[in-house]
């Protein structure tokens, strides 16, 4: 083995170790965010189910299904066709991106942060997830937007008890569905 190959392998090995370390740090931060929100930390590890759970404690699970189905349909239309269907697929993917930005805003608000933190979550997501996970921020619940009679809109106080009751009723069905989806996903890989 020549010195160039050895250097290349050493560099790739170092990068691989750094990437794995960074990923583990992100999982720990996400785990801590889930625990702050009153969810078991293990849910942060399961693909798709972690996003569903985040939507559950920050916003609404129906929005998760819109994002998931919209992402799949938009991606298929974008890649598999040309012309109007491809344009429609691009529009659907754009709508999904907007939903994801709103989801980041809901996450920031659920921990008492504002638009500035949302911008940080959008542009520097891994760093701001670490800040959210390891800081002293407390989970204050999902923030609901309401409209008053005067015509203005204001953020209502969190309705945690009502929200928690609604989530518990739909949680069992979706846990089984996600475990089945995850099993199929792993089997395909």
- Residues 81-138 have pLDDT tens digits of 788 888 888 899 999 999 999 999 999 999 989 888 999 999 988 889 999 999 888 8
- 3-state SS string over the chain? CCHHHHHHHHHHHHHHHHHHHHHHHHHHHHHHHHHHCCCCHHHHCCCCHHHHHHHHHHCCHHHHHHHHHHHHHHHHHHHHCCCHHHHHHHHHHHHHHHHHHHHHHHHHHHCCCCHHHHHHHHHCHHHHHHHHHHCCCCCCCCCEEEECCCCCEEEECCCHHHHHHHHHHHHHHHHHHHHHHHHHHHHHC
Dihedral (Cα; 137, 138, 140, 142), 10-degree rounding: 60
The pLDDT value given to residue 155: 47
* pTM, 2 dp: 0.68
The pLDDT value given to residue 16: 92
pLDDT higher for 29 or 186? 29
Q: 133-188 pLDDT, tens per residue?
A: 998 888 988 876 544 444 444 444 444 444 444 444 444 444 554 555 566 556 65
Place of tokens 């949302």: 118
């Amino acid at each position: 083995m020549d010195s160039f190959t050895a250097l290349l392998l050493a560099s790739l090995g170092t990068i691989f170790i750094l990437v794995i370390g960074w990923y583990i740090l992100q999982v720990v931060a996400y785990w801590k965010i889930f625990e702050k929100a009153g969810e078991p930390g293990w849910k942060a590890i399961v693909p798709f189910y972690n996003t569903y759970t985040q939507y559950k404690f920050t916003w609404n699970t129906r929005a998760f299904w819109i994002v998931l189905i919209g992402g799949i349909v938009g991606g298929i239309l974008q890649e598999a066709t040309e012309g109007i269907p491809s344009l429609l697929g691009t529009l659907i993917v754009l709508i999904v991106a907007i939903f994801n930005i709103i989801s980041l805003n809901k996450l920031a608000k659920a921990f008492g942060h504002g638009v500035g933190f949302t911008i940080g979550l959008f542009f520097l997501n891994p760093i701001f997830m670490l800040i959210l996970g390891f800081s002293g921020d407390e989970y204050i619940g999902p923030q609901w937007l309401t409209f008053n009679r005067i015509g203005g809109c204001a953020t209502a106080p969190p309705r945690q008890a009502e929200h928690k009751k609604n989530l518990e009723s739909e949680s069992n069905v979706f846990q089984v569905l996600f475990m089945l989806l995850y099993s199929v996903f792993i089997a395909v890989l």
